[in-house]
Amino acid sequence: MNLDEKSSYLKELFKDFTFDFVSFASNTKSYRNKLELAIFHQDDEIHYAMFEGKKKYIVKECKIANEKIQDLMPLVLKALNSNKALKERLFGVEFLSTKLDMSLTLLYHKDIEQIKTELNKFSESLNLKLIARSRGKKLVFKDEILKQELEIYNKKYHYVYTNECFCQANTYINEKMIEWLLKELKDEKKRDLLELYCGYGNFTLPLSFIFERVVATELSKKNIEFALKNCELNGVKNIKFLRLSSEDFSKAIKKEREFFRLRDVNLDEFYFSHILLDPPRAGLSKEVVTLAKNYENIIYISCNPQSLRQNLEHLKEYELKKLALFDQFVDTKHIECIAILKRKV
């Protein structure tokens, strides 16, 4: 689907609502900062590959990957093919690139401890941050932490994370999503922000500058670890990160259950004028939909318009004020959008 087709699809899906609509196009080439490929073995050589069901496609190049990844792909393949120990039982590779950094992950069906020396030489020869994985084991060479810099309205935000953290696959569109949110929320009356599914603070940090205080929840220990580091990097002191699932936070704020992780936090001190939701593809659970109804303004970041539409059926008390489409994955069926909802008067 191209951008016009995605726009038409969204407008048709939400035709029962009246809203302002805008779409943001991506570059059509060199936009993707994360690339996962299978490894195909043939005649003592390995090739990058993709599989669609039982069909196999050999990947010679990938124009949608950013330039750093495109430049590295042939170098990695050549080095692996020249080393029997490294290519043997290798079944996948993952490239992850930022504006400032890059890492490569190799996935094996064998004990990677046996090739530790070879992996280290490989990392040194390409001057590359390398992670090797096999069942129950992980080896890291030259570090796995990546540095990222986003520029939002001429202000730079600094992040660190690893490939274990969820990150937006299109950096340009990620910046546009944050810019659009800041623009649309600029003139609204705001107090405190409640954010669920905050990850390592991708949206949290820029938004913290326009809200008095922020409470952000995330279940992943690794994401919380980097979210706290990212606060320090950006000099942010008004965010409280909580390692809780959205459902558990819902129980906590309704005082249905006490949590040890909230022992130093008094949620009654906060006045949440807005709630930001960034759920997985399945959308919001019933508990989280009920929680969201406590707040006048809802910001819903969706990677699945169908689940967003289903959730809106249970948010009849709200108007869909704005809907923005971000073409994160060009010429695919994948649609990323942000909805801004306000409780009806």
Q: What separation in angstroms does the CA of 199 have from each of 215, 227, 340?
A: 13, 7, 20
**Backbone CA torsion sign across 315, 316, 318, 321:** positive
Strand partners, 65: 32
Active-site residue 303, yes or no? Answer: yes
Give φ, ψ of 191 to 5 degrees: -125, -105
Pairing verdict, β 90-97 and 137-141? unpaired
Task: Give the other-Cβ count within 10 Å of 231's Cβ.
Answer: 21
Q: Can you read off the two tokens belonging to residue 318?
A: 């709200």
CB-CB contact of 299 with 274 (8 Å): yes
Instruction: Give per-residue burial for 55-70: e unless 16+ CB within 10 Å, then b.
Output: eeeeeeebebbbebbb
CB-CB contact of 243 with 228 (8 Å): no
Annotated binding-site residues read 168, 197, 218, 278
Q: What separation in angstroms does the CA of 288 have from each of 91, 151, 212, 279?
A: 39, 32, 23, 10
Q: Catalytic pick from 62, 231, 303, 337? A: 303
Closest CA to 160 of 265, 230, 74, 87: 230
Q: Give the three-state DSSP class for 167.
A: coil
Q: Can you read off the two tokens belonging to residue 247?
A: 């459902």
Cα distance between residue 188 and residue 3, in whole Å: 29
Q: Can you read off the two tokens belonging to residue 152?
A: 């939002």
The residue to which tokens 């990620």 are assigned: 174
Q: Give the three-state DSSP class for 163.
A: coil
Annotated binding-site residues for S-adenosyl-L-methionine read 168, 197, 218, 278
Cite the active site residues: 303
